[in-house]
Chain A
Amino acid sequence: GQQVMQIPQYQHVQEGEDFTTYCNSSTTLSNIQWYKQRPGGHPVFLIQLVKSGEVKKQKRLTFQFGEAKKNSSLHITATQTTDVGTYFCAGSNAGGTSYGKLTFGQGTILTVHP
Protein backbone atom coordinates (compact mmCIF):
# COMPACT_ATOMS: atom_id res chain seq x y z
CA GLY A 1 0.00 0.00 0.00
CA GLN A 2 0.88 3.64 -0.19
CA GLN A 3 3.49 4.81 2.30
CA VAL A 4 4.39 8.37 3.17
CA MET A 5 7.64 8.83 5.06
CA GLN A 6 8.45 12.07 6.80
CA ILE A 7 11.78 13.16 8.25
CA PRO A 8 13.09 14.18 10.66
CA GLN A 9 10.88 12.92 13.48
CA TYR A 10 12.15 15.64 15.81
CA GLN A 11 13.83 18.98 15.25
CA HIS A 12 15.08 21.34 17.92
CA VAL A 13 16.09 24.82 16.79
CA GLN A 14 17.02 28.14 18.32
CA GLU A 15 14.62 30.93 17.61
CA GLY A 16 15.66 32.59 14.38
CA GLU A 17 17.09 29.45 12.79
CA ASP A 18 15.53 27.86 9.74
CA PHE A 19 13.66 24.56 9.73
CA THR A 20 12.84 22.04 7.01
CA THR A 21 10.80 18.85 7.04
CA TYR A 22 10.72 16.39 4.14
CA CYS A 23 8.05 14.05 2.92
CA ASN A 24 8.54 11.10 0.54
CA SER A 25 5.91 8.85 -0.96
CA SER A 26 6.35 5.34 -2.31
CA THR A 27 3.83 6.14 -5.05
CA THR A 28 2.97 9.11 -7.25
CA LEU A 29 0.60 11.48 -5.51
CA SER A 30 -2.33 13.39 -6.96
CA ASN A 31 -1.79 16.11 -4.38
CA ILE A 32 -0.12 16.71 -1.04
CA GLN A 33 -1.45 18.59 1.93
CA TRP A 34 0.36 20.02 4.94
CA TYR A 35 -1.08 20.34 8.43
CA LYS A 36 0.13 21.84 11.70
CA GLN A 37 -0.83 20.52 15.11
CA ARG A 38 -0.09 22.71 18.11
CA PRO A 39 0.69 20.90 21.37
CA GLY A 40 -2.58 19.59 22.81
CA GLY A 41 -4.49 20.60 19.70
CA HIS A 42 -5.82 19.09 16.53
CA PRO A 43 -4.28 19.18 13.03
CA VAL A 44 -5.06 22.34 11.12
CA PHE A 45 -4.79 22.56 7.35
CA LEU A 46 -1.99 24.78 6.04
CA ILE A 47 -1.84 24.27 2.28
CA GLN A 48 -2.41 21.94 -0.63
CA LEU A 49 -0.05 21.40 -3.58
CA VAL A 50 -1.33 19.84 -6.77
CA LYS A 51 1.01 20.59 -9.66
CA SER A 52 4.36 19.01 -10.37
CA GLY A 53 7.18 21.33 -9.21
CA GLU A 54 4.75 23.65 -7.48
CA VAL A 55 6.09 26.13 -4.91
CA LYS A 56 3.83 28.09 -2.58
CA LYS A 57 4.65 30.58 0.15
CA GLN A 58 2.81 31.67 3.26
CA LYS A 59 4.82 34.42 4.95
CA ARG A 60 7.87 32.58 6.38
CA LEU A 61 6.69 29.15 5.20
CA THR A 62 7.66 27.74 1.79
CA PHE A 63 6.10 24.56 0.46
CA GLN A 64 7.41 22.57 -2.50
CA PHE A 65 6.04 19.63 -4.47
CA GLY A 66 8.57 17.56 -6.37
CA GLU A 67 8.69 17.23 -10.13
CA ALA A 68 7.80 13.55 -9.93
CA LYS A 69 5.00 14.29 -7.42
CA LYS A 70 6.51 11.82 -4.97
CA ASN A 71 8.13 14.19 -2.51
CA SER A 72 7.49 17.48 -0.81
CA SER A 73 9.08 19.82 1.70
CA LEU A 74 8.10 22.54 4.14
CA HIS A 75 10.70 25.17 4.98
CA ILE A 76 10.28 27.76 7.72
CA THR A 77 12.59 30.77 7.63
CA ALA A 78 13.66 32.38 10.89
CA THR A 79 11.56 30.27 13.25
CA GLN A 80 9.57 31.84 16.06
CA THR A 81 8.23 30.30 19.25
CA THR A 82 4.77 30.36 17.70
CA ASP A 83 5.99 27.81 15.13
CA VAL A 84 6.23 25.01 17.71
CA GLY A 85 4.11 21.97 17.01
CA THR A 86 3.94 18.91 14.83
CA TYR A 87 3.93 19.29 11.07
CA PHE A 88 2.30 16.59 8.99
CA CYS A 89 2.27 15.96 5.29
CA ALA A 90 -0.56 13.92 3.79
CA GLY A 91 -0.87 12.55 0.30
CA SER A 92 -3.54 11.06 -1.92
CA ASN A 93 -2.75 8.39 -4.46
CA ALA A 94 -2.98 9.35 -8.10
CA GLY A 95 -5.92 7.11 -8.95
CA GLY A 96 -6.07 3.38 -8.40
CA THR A 97 -7.81 1.54 -5.61
CA SER A 98 -6.79 3.95 -2.89
CA TYR A 99 -9.22 6.66 -4.00
CA GLY A 100 -10.53 8.45 -0.93
CA LYS A 101 -7.60 7.59 1.30
CA LEU A 102 -5.34 10.33 2.54
CA THR A 103 -2.14 8.88 3.98
CA PHE A 104 -0.31 10.92 6.60
CA GLY A 105 3.38 11.00 7.26
CA GLN A 106 4.64 10.34 10.79
CA GLY A 107 5.00 14.05 11.45
CA THR A 108 7.92 16.25 12.51
CA ILE A 109 7.84 17.65 16.02
CA LEU A 110 9.39 21.11 16.05
CA THR A 111 10.69 22.67 19.23
CA VAL A 112 11.88 26.27 19.17
CA HIS A 113 14.13 27.48 21.99
CA PRO A 114 13.88 31.22 22.73
Chain B
Amino acid sequence: EAQVTQNPRYLITVTGKKLTVTCSQNMNHEYMSWYRQDPGLGLRQIYYSMNVEVTDKGDVPEGYKVSRKEKRNFPLILESPSPNQTSLYFCASSGPTDAPLHFGNGTRLTVT
Protein backbone atom coordinates (compact mmCIF):
# COMPACT_ATOMS: atom_id res chain seq x y z
CA GLU B 1 0.00 0.00 0.00
CA ALA B 2 1.32 3.43 -0.99
CA GLN B 3 1.90 5.44 2.12
CA VAL B 4 3.91 7.97 4.08
CA THR B 5 4.87 6.66 7.51
CA GLN B 6 5.74 8.93 10.38
CA ASN B 7 6.98 7.92 13.80
CA PRO B 8 6.22 8.41 16.55
CA ARG B 9 2.54 9.46 16.52
CA TYR B 10 2.83 11.10 19.91
CA LEU B 11 5.90 12.45 21.69
CA ILE B 12 6.26 14.28 24.97
CA THR B 13 9.72 15.59 25.77
CA VAL B 14 11.52 18.23 27.78
CA THR B 15 13.21 21.40 26.67
CA GLY B 16 16.65 20.82 25.19
CA LYS B 17 16.47 17.07 24.70
CA LYS B 18 17.33 16.28 21.09
CA LEU B 19 14.73 14.32 19.16
CA THR B 20 14.12 12.95 15.69
CA VAL B 21 10.82 12.37 13.95
CA THR B 22 11.15 9.86 11.16
CA CYS B 23 9.37 9.95 7.82
CA SER B 24 9.45 7.28 5.16
CA GLN B 25 7.59 6.92 1.87
CA ASN B 26 7.30 3.87 -0.37
CA MET B 27 6.17 5.62 -3.56
CA ASN B 28 9.61 6.52 -4.93
CA HIS B 29 8.66 10.19 -4.65
CA GLU B 30 11.31 12.79 -5.30
CA TYR B 31 9.69 15.60 -3.34
CA MET B 32 9.29 15.48 0.44
CA SER B 33 8.33 18.17 2.89
CA TRP B 34 7.68 18.84 6.56
CA TYR B 35 4.84 20.99 7.88
CA ARG B 36 3.69 22.07 11.27
CA GLN B 37 0.04 22.72 12.02
CA ASP B 38 -1.04 25.18 14.68
CA PRO B 39 -4.57 26.46 15.38
CA GLY B 40 -5.43 29.44 13.22
CA LEU B 41 -2.17 29.25 11.29
CA GLY B 42 -2.86 26.37 8.95
CA LEU B 43 0.01 24.28 7.62
CA ARG B 44 3.36 26.02 7.57
CA GLN B 45 6.27 24.52 5.68
CA ILE B 46 9.42 23.85 7.69
CA TYR B 47 11.79 22.28 5.16
CA TYR B 48 11.44 20.56 1.84
CA SER B 49 13.57 18.39 -0.38
CA MET B 50 13.44 18.15 -4.15
CA ASN B 51 15.60 15.03 -4.23
CA VAL B 52 18.37 13.15 -2.45
CA GLU B 53 20.91 15.51 -0.86
CA VAL B 54 18.82 18.54 -1.93
CA THR B 55 17.03 20.36 0.88
CA ASP B 56 15.77 23.89 1.32
CA LYS B 57 14.15 26.04 3.95
CA GLY B 58 10.44 26.57 4.06
CA ASP B 59 8.67 29.37 5.90
CA VAL B 60 9.50 28.38 9.49
CA PRO B 61 12.86 26.53 9.51
CA GLU B 62 14.33 27.98 12.73
CA GLY B 63 15.09 25.31 15.31
CA TYR B 64 14.81 22.41 12.87
CA LYS B 65 17.17 20.34 10.76
CA VAL B 66 16.52 17.78 8.06
CA SER B 67 18.52 15.38 5.96
CA ARG B 68 17.83 13.45 2.76
CA LYS B 69 20.45 10.75 2.43
CA GLU B 70 18.04 8.29 0.82
CA LYS B 71 15.10 8.93 -1.43
CA ARG B 72 12.57 7.27 0.85
CA ASN B 73 13.54 8.90 4.17
CA PHE B 74 13.32 12.49 5.34
CA PRO B 75 13.82 12.78 9.11
CA LEU B 76 13.06 15.98 11.04
CA ILE B 77 15.56 16.77 13.78
CA LEU B 78 15.05 19.10 16.71
CA GLU B 79 18.49 19.61 18.22
CA SER B 80 17.26 21.55 21.25
CA PRO B 81 13.46 21.56 21.40
CA SER B 82 11.66 24.45 23.03
CA PRO B 83 8.02 24.79 24.16
CA ASN B 84 7.15 26.92 21.11
CA GLN B 85 7.81 23.85 18.98
CA THR B 86 4.86 22.09 20.56
CA SER B 87 2.73 21.36 17.53
CA LEU B 88 1.27 18.79 15.16
CA TYR B 89 3.81 17.83 12.51
CA PHE B 90 3.12 16.33 9.11
CA CYS B 91 5.47 14.81 6.60
CA ALA B 92 4.35 14.75 2.98
CA SER B 93 5.67 13.54 -0.35
CA SER B 94 4.81 13.87 -4.01
CA GLY B 95 6.11 12.89 -7.40
CA PRO B 96 6.98 15.91 -9.55
CA THR B 97 6.82 19.35 -7.94
CA ASP B 98 3.25 20.69 -7.93
CA ALA B 99 1.86 17.15 -7.89
CA PRO B 100 -0.61 16.32 -5.11
CA LEU B 101 0.89 15.74 -1.70
CA HIS B 102 0.52 12.49 0.22
CA PHE B 103 0.58 13.13 3.96
CA GLY B 104 1.65 10.96 6.83
CA ASN B 105 -0.62 10.49 9.85
CA GLY B 106 1.09 13.21 11.84
CA THR B 107 3.20 13.46 14.97
CA ARG B 108 1.85 15.37 17.93
CA LEU B 109 4.82 16.80 19.81
CA THR B 110 4.66 18.36 23.25
CA VAL B 111 7.73 20.10 24.66
CA THR B 112 7.56 20.97 28.35
Contact = CB atoms under 8 A, between A and B. Distances in A.
A88 B43 contact: yes
A99 B97 contact: yes
A48 B33 CA distance: 18
Nearest to B35: A104
Contacts of B33: 102
Contact of B59 (A6, A42, A100, A103): A103
Interface in B55-88: 56, 58-59
B21 interface: no
A42 B45 contact: no
B48 A104 contact: no
A103 B45 contact: yes
Interface in B1-55: 31, 33, 35, 40-45, 48, 50
Interface residues of B, number: 25
A33 B103 CA distance: 14
Looking at chain B's contact residues, the main secondary structure is strand
Given A1-B59, A100-B31, A106-B40, A45 B100 contact: yes
B104 A100 contact: no
Interface in A85-106: 88, 90, 92, 99-106
A9 B35 CA distance: 19
A88 B40 CA distance: 12
Given A30-B98, A103-B45, A103-B59, 15 more contacts: A1-B59, A33-B100, A33-B101, A45-B100, A45-B102, A48-B100, A88-B43, A90-B101, A100-B56, A101-B59, A102-B45, A104-B42, A106-B40, A106-B41, A106-B42
27 contacts: A1-B59, A6-B42, A30-B98, A41-B105, A42-B103, A42-B104, A42-B105, A43-B43, A43-B92, A44-B103, A45-B100, A45-B102, A48-B98, A88-B43, A90-B101, A92-B97, A92-B98, A100-B56, A101-B45, A101-B48, A101-B58, A102-B45, A102-B101, A103-B45, A105-B42, A106-B40, A107-B43
Interface of A: 1, 6, 9, 30-31, 33, 35, 41-45, 48, 88, 90, 92, 99-107
